[in-house]
């Protein structure tokens, strides 16, 4: 087993275990911390695919900024295991069925996608994830969608400021 | 020597390098605490610690011993796992930065070229940025797990302060990236060392000031040390901590200081470059040693400035801190970024 394979399996197990722990944890703060572990594992996968920029941006944006805000809200509302509302069993059953259906749709989609058939993932190769190539692709081939999404971000920011001013 | 398709010599080389750099950082941090007390003493016209050893030089070891020997108290109503995790996270995040800083050029031992940088990754600065954003968790988790209202308030203050100042810091970094055209710290330092080019501080004075202020805020140094404002929050986010766990929190602050000084030296002051000296004419090993000495000198100067500010400037009020971050630093950083971009385009003759 090469070191890449070893890392792949390690990160996969870590990601899946942490993801399960996010759902299973009774304490919301623990859930958030496990979710951060998931982001770390996924960033590790990005690095294995030679997409270093994506990996670090994933960490900065999701693990570094968004999850801090999650923690903020949970800590300020003082949610913990005892105050978490207990859902009744019917609701849990409905959740399991809905989630299972969604999983089935996703799996069948992946299975049928033509691009994914007969293609093995090659680790550590591919240059598109490096910042130079990514930047060139974003600013040459996809410049209009990129700019539109930046306008979207700007409007979201303005909206947040307006709401903040009202309160 | 390859087994399992791994170059074991490289791994051994890197492990030794990591060990040296981590222990050196810890050692320097140890004496930074001593320097802090001495600088404070000089600024306040008193002798400072002078009992343990000649000139009080053994004082940091005495302090460390005291912290280790103290009784370790974990509050009964705290979240025990997270309470222990907090200081560890703070320390890890502080030490992780050192892996992308180019400490010097390379040395040659037995015809083997060894770079004095643990990892020259092509996203070096973003890596530092990512690690800095992780540093918040040590504070937040520690503050929350203590199950103390003051700790929680301090942790929330600290986290919001860190996030606010990260933004301006990132924006001032973008201007440096535009100049050097690379995210790798090694390339940025090499660009400043090249003949005929100046240190980035010449091109980016405003960017440096913004970065410096943000670094002060990120390290929770006065005048931005609101997470540990004693008169409002008793002691801040580490109020419930005792013994070496408290020591880890206090110590990680000093390591953060060293690392941010190293980053500032690399980004704006030529890293391990000695001014008016052409390193390429020297033997590589001598040049490497001179480089390390130069970088350490720059770090020492920055640390002194940090301390000087701490013992001179009073603490900000919290709303002043937020106003400074959002209404002064970010617009200034945006302005700096626009001007830099415009000048680069003008120079390129577009």
Spans of all domains in chain A? 3-129, 131-167
pLDDT (mean) for B180-193: 83
Distance between CA atoms of B88 and B245, rounded to whole angstroms? Answer: 8
pLDDT (mean) for A56-82: 81
pLDDT (mean) for B115-141: 83
* Cα A64 to the center of its chain, rounded Å: 12
Q: Would B36 be classed as within a structural domain?
A: no
The verdict on A56 touching B (C-beta cutoff 8 Å) is: yes
Question: Per-residue pLDDT for A82 more than 80?
Answer: no
pLDDT (mean) for B6-19: 82
Average pLDDT across chain A, whole number? 83
Question: Per-residue pLDDT for A85 more than 70?
Answer: no
Place of tokens 């302005």: B335
As given in the structure block, the two tokens for residue B146 are: 């203590």
Question: Per-residue pLDDT for B2 more than 80?
Answer: no
User: What is the reported pLDDT for A1?
Assistant: 63
Q: Would B33 be classed as within a structural domain?
A: no
Reported as a pLDDT band with limits 50, 70 and 90, residue B1 is very low
Question: Per-residue pLDDT for A148 more than 90?
Answer: yes
The verdict on B84 touching A (C-beta cutoff 8 Å) is: no
The answer to pTM > 0.90 is no
Could you report the per-residue pLDDT of B19-78, keeping only the tens digit for each? 888 888 888 888 888 888 888 888 888 888 888 878 888 888 888 888 888 888 888 877
A3-129 is classed CATH 3.40.47.10 = no
If we measure between CA atoms, which residue out of A52, A58, A64, A60 comes closest to residue A131? A52
The DSSP bridge partners found for residue B180 are: none
The DSSP bridge partners found for residue B109 are: B112
Could you report the per-residue pLDDT of B263-308, keeping only the tens digit for each? 898 888 887 877 777 777 777 788 888 888 888 899 999 999 988 8
Answer for the pair B235, B249: CB distance below 8 angstroms, yes or no.
no
ipTM of the modeled complex: 0.81
The verdict on A93 touching B (C-beta cutoff 8 Å) is: no
User: What is the reported pLDDT for B230?
Assistant: 67
User: What is the reported pLDDT for A80?
Assistant: 61
The verdict on A15 touching B (C-beta cutoff 8 Å) is: no
Q: Could you tell me the maximum CA-CA distance found in chain B, to the nearest angstrom? A: 68
CB atoms within 10 A of CB B195: 6
Question: Most A CBs within 10 Å: which of B7, B89, B92, B130, as the mutation test of the A interface?
Answer: B130
Domain count for chain B: 1
Could you report the per-residue pLDDT of A31-53, keeping only the tens digit for each? 888 999 999 999 998 888 888 88
Q: Would B195 be classed as within a structural domain?
A: yes
In terms of average pLDDT, the best of A151-160, B82-91, B239-248, B318-327 is A151-160
If we measure between CA atoms, which residue out of B262, B258, B252, B255 comes closest to residue B103? B262
Distance between CA atoms of A116 and B348, rounded to whole angstroms? Answer: 44
Chain B closest-CA separation from residue A72 CA (Å): 7
Q: Would B6 be classed as within a structural domain?
A: no
Distance between CA atoms of B313 and B159, rounded to whole angstroms? Answer: 22
Contact criterion met (CB < 8 Å) for A29 and B127: no
Say which range, B97-111, B220-234, B237-251, B329-343, has the weakest mean pLDDT: B220-234
What are the angstrom distances between the C-alpha of B64 and each of B94, B244, B253, B256, B302? 18, 8, 15, 18, 24
Pairing of strands B106-109, B112-115: antiparallel
Parent domain of B173? 71-348
3-state secondary structure of A130: coil
Answer for the pair B166, B129: CB distance below 8 angstroms, yes or no.
yes
Question: Most A CBs within 10 Å: which of B134, B145, B237, as the mutation test of the A interface?
Answer: B134
User: What is the reported pLDDT for A42?
Assistant: 92
Question: Per-residue pLDDT for B82 more than 70?
Answer: yes
Kindly state the helix (H) or strand (E) to which residue B43 belongs, with its residue range.
helix B8-43
Q: In A, which residues are within 8 Å of B159 by CB distance?
A: 68, 71-72
Contact criterion met (CB < 8 Å) for B156 and A76: yes
Q: What percent of chain B clears pLDDT 90, i.e. is strictly above it?
A: 4
Residue in A3, A64, A131 closest to B134 by CB: A64
Q: Would B327 be classed as within a structural domain?
A: yes
Distance between CA atoms of B306 and B165, rounded to whole angstroms? Answer: 17
């Amino acid at each position: 087993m090469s070191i890449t394979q070893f890392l792949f399996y390690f990160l996969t197990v870590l990601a899946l275990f942490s993801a399960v722990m996010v759902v299973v944890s009774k304490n919301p703060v623990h859930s958030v911390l496990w979710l951060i572990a998931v982001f770390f594992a996924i960033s590790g996968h990005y690095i294995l695919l030679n997409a270093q920029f994506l990996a670090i941006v994933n960490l900065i944006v999701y693990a570094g900024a968004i999850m801090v805000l999650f923690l903020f809200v949970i800590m300020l509302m003082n949610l913990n295991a005892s105050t978490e509302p207990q859902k009744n069993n019917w609701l849990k059953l409905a959740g399991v069925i809905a989630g299972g259906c969604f999983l089935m749709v996703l799996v069948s989609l992946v299975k049928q996608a033509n691009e994914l058939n007969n293609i093995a993932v090659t680790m550590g190769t591919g240059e598109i994830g490096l910042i130079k190539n990514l930047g060139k692709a974003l600013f040459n081939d996809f410049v209009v969608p990129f700019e539109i999404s930046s306008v979207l971000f700007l409007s979201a920011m303005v909206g947040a400021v307006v709401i903040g001013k009202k309160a | 020597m390859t087994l399992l398709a791994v170059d074991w010599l490289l791994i051994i080389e890197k492990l030794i390098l990591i060990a040296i750099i981590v222990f050196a950082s810890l050692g320097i941090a140890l004496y930074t605490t001593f320097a802090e007390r001495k600088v404070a003493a000089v600024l306040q016209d008193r002798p400072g610690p002078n009992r343990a050893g000649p000139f009080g030089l053994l004082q940091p070891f005495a302090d460390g011993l005291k912290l280790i020997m103290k009784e370790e108290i974990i509050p009964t109503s705290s979240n025990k796992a997270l309470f222990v995790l907090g200081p560890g996270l703070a320390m890890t995040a502080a030490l992780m930065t050192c892996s992308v800083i180019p400490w010097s050029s390379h040395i040659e031992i037995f015809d083997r070229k060894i770079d004095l940088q643990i990892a020259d990754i092509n996203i070096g600065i973003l890596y530092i940025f990512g690690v800095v954003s992780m540093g918040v968790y040590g504070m937040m988790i520690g503050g929350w797990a203590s199950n103390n209202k003051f700790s929680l308030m301090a942790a929330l203050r600290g986290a919001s302060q860190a996030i606010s100042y990260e933004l301006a810091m990132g924006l001032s970094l973008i201007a440096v990236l535009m100049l050097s055209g690379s995210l790798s710290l090694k390339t940025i330092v090499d660009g400043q060392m090249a003949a005929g080019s100046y240190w980035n501080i010449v091109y980016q004075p405003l960017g440096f000031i913004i970065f410096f202020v943000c670094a002060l805020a990120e390290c929770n140094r006065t005048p931005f040390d609101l997470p540990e404002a004693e008169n409002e929050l008793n002691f801040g986010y580490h109020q419930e901590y005792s013994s070496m766990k408290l020591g880890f929190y206090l110590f990680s602050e000093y390591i953060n200081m060293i690392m941010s000084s190293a980053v500032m030296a690399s980004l704006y002051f030529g890293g391990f470059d000695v001014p008016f000296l052409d390193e390429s004419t020297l033997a590589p090993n001598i040049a490497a040693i001179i480089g390390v000495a130069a970088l350490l000198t720059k770090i020492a100067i920055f640390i002194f400035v940090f301390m000087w500010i701490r013992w001179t400037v009073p603490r900000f009020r919290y709303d002043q801190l937020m106003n400074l971050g959002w209404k002064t630093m970010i617009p200034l950083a945006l302005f700096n970024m626009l001007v830099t971009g415009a000048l680069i385009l003008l120079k390129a003759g577009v």
